[in-house]
């Protein structure tokens, strides 16, 4: 939005010596000393924490308004208001009087000059820190080894995502998707949205709550978020622009209450798919997709229209067979899918940890077998038989006709009992590599030896007792090393820790055939 309060609130010099030392993204709040979500006041250059930490930036604005109430109205307008501040991580500008993000600037361009100065300070601090860490690693091979195995050591190259207020469900999904190489690379290579004309030409675009739906692009904000991760230029990135776009186009996720990570993932993939179908920034989806023939050539799974990178990577096809138990009529139906939701078999639901001795451990194979086994539909799911002309008892069985490049498996940990949605806290054992899906295929004889093997790429974990509460984190492998993503904190971990996690969503990537093993 165009803010009318900049001239009275932006008073500091762009290269003010009053700024604290060090990296702006790690500046500490002058009240509580927290370095999470620092904001700098553009009136007095004081640094405070955001509203999702302890809210001292907003309290700083409110305290500055109290003395003004005893002055005349004309004096109010001349006195600096302390109403505008800047996020020290994303460099977006916010006005507390407008209660929205700001896209305009002062006549002298002071906001943009402050933004550029903070970016220079961040880059300088990062360069110095990277040089110091490189020297440390060069001088001690032991430290290098500890970095790879010590689960409590902070990772150097990975970037966390700031929690904007119960947005851990979004952060866990974004970190998981960012570590699926083919999917992530596609978006990072997309062209950026063209810069706007007029007053804001050449400036970075910030989506705000007052903008219309036609001015937002989920693909563009998703692309920018993926580009910010794994650059190593900052310890944490604030995905606020993406979150506001989510608010615009996904009303179910408005507000700051806890949400279901699986539900968010499905909405996200569906909306990315729909937006890519309509073309992106003047470049048609098909033109971009053709550049990567490995995605378009083998893909035959289309959901809601033409194929996109979403269906090319996550898309598979199920065959649903229903047999009437009265006349024997068989009905076959083919359903495309982006993920498979698996029940945890009831006989395992009392087993909460891997080390308990009361019976066998539930495995992912048990869940897959339960999904594909022949089952008789109960009285509430009677099948309408076209031959009998009425609803009859029947059996149902799923086969996988086509496996996706990335197999997403959702374990159904939340279920309704009376008026409550309870959590199934059972530990499910899952392989980190070599998941063989051949026995679930409709025509396994037509598949190569390597085409049905999958290796784990990422895991989303829900901590807590209910879907509306608790906390989400993610594990993901990057360049052979496992990382644990807990909002803005990223730590190195090991395979044993990952294997003990109570998985909620598993992302498996198709194993690539070894070079030279294909047909000539």
Domain extent for 12: 6-66+79-128
103 found inside a domain: yes
Give the pLDDT of residue 260. Answer: 92
Give the pLDDT of residue 495. Answer: 95
Domain count, the chain: 1
Give the pLDDT of residue 204. Answer: 41
| Percent of the chain scoring above 70 in pLDDT | 74
119 found inside a domain: yes
325 found inside a domain: no
Helix and strand tally (H, E) in the chain? Answer: 15, 25
123 found inside a domain: yes
**Distance (Å) of CA 402 to CA 218, 226, 509:** 29, 28, 14
Give the pLDDT of residue 160. Answer: 92
CATH code at position 33: 3.30.40.10
Per-residue model confidence as pLDDT tens digits over 99-111: 888 888 888 888 8
Active site residues: 168, 471
Q: How confident is the model at residue 72 (pLDDT cuts 50, 70, 90)?
A: very low
Q: How confident is the model at residue 516 (pLDDT cuts 50, 70, 90)?
A: very low
106 found inside a domain: yes
Cβ pair 111, 42 in contact under 8 A: yes
**Distance (Å) of CA 137 to CA 142, 154, 450:** 8, 14, 38
92 found inside a domain: yes
53 found inside a domain: yes
Q: Which two tokens stand for residue 343?
A: 């029940």
Give the pLDDT of residue 379. Answer: 76
30 found inside a domain: yes
Q: Which two tokens stand for residue 12?
A: 């500091």
d(C-alpha 397, C-alpha 389), whole Å: 22
What's the chain's average pLDDT?
78
């Amino acid at each position: 939005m165009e803010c009318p309060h900049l001239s009275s609130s932006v008073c500091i010099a762009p290269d003010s010596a009053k700024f604290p030392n060090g990296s702006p993204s790690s500046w500490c709040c002058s009240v509580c000393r927290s370095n999470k979500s620092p904001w700098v006041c553009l009136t007095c250059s004081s640094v405070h924490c955001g509203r999702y930490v302890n809210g001292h930036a907003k309290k700083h604005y409110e305290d500055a308004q109290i003395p003004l109430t005893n002055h005349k109205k004309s004096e109010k307008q001349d006195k600096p208001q302390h109403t505008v501040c800047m996020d020290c991580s994303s460099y977006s500008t916010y006005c507390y009087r407008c209660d929205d993000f700001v896209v305009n600037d002062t006549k002298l361009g002071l906001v943009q000059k402050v933004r550029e100065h903070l970016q220079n300070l961040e880059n300088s601090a990062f360069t110095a820190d990277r040089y110091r860490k490189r020297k440390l690693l060069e001088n001690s091979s032991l430290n290098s080894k500890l970095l790879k195995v010590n689960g409590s050591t902070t990772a150097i190259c990975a970037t966390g995502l700031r929690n904007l207020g119960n947005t851990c469900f979004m952060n866990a999904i974004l970190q998981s998707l960012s570590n699926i190489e083919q999917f992530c690379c596609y978006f990072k290579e997309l062209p950026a949205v063209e810069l706007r004309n007029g007053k804001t030409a050449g400036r970075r675009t910030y989506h705000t709550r007052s903008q219309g739906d036609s001015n937002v692009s989920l693909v563009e904000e998703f692309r920018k978020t993926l580009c910010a991760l794994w650059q190593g230029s900052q310890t944490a990135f604030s995905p606020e622009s993406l979150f506001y776009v989510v608010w615009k186009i996904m009303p179910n996720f408005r507000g700051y209450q806890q949400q279901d990570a699986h539900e968010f993932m499905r909405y996200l993939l569906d909306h990315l798919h729909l937006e890519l179908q309509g073309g992106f920034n003047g470049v048609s989806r098909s033109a971009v997709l053709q550049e990567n023939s490995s995605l378009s050539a083998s893909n035959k799974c289309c959901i809601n229209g033409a194929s996109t990178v979403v269906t090319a990577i996550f898309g598979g096809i199920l065959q649903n067979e229903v047999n009437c138990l009265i006349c024997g009529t068989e009905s076959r139906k083919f359903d495309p899918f982006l993920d498979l939701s698996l029940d945890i078999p009831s006989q395992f639901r009392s087993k909460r940890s891997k080390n308990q001795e009361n019976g066998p451990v539930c495995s992912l194979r048990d869940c897959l077998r339960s999904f594909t086994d022949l089952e008789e539909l109960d009285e509430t799911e009677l099948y309408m038989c076209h031959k009998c002309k009425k609803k009859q008892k029947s059996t149902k069985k799923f086969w996988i006709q086509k496996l996706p490049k990335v197999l997403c498996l959702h374990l159904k940990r939340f279920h309704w009992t009376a008026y409550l949605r309870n959590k199934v806290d059972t530990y499910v054992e899952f392989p980190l590599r070599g998941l063989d899906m051949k026995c679930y295929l409709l025509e396994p004889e037509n598949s190569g030896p390597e085409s049905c093997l999958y290796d784990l790429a990422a895991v989303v974990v829900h901590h807590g007792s209910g879907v509306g509460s608790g906390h989400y984190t993610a594990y993901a492998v990057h360049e052979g090393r496992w990382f644990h993503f807990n909002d803005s904190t990223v730590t190195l971990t090991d395979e044993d820790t990952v294997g003990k996690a109570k998985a909620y969503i598993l992302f498996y990537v198709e194993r690539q055939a070894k070079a030279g093993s294909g047909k000539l």
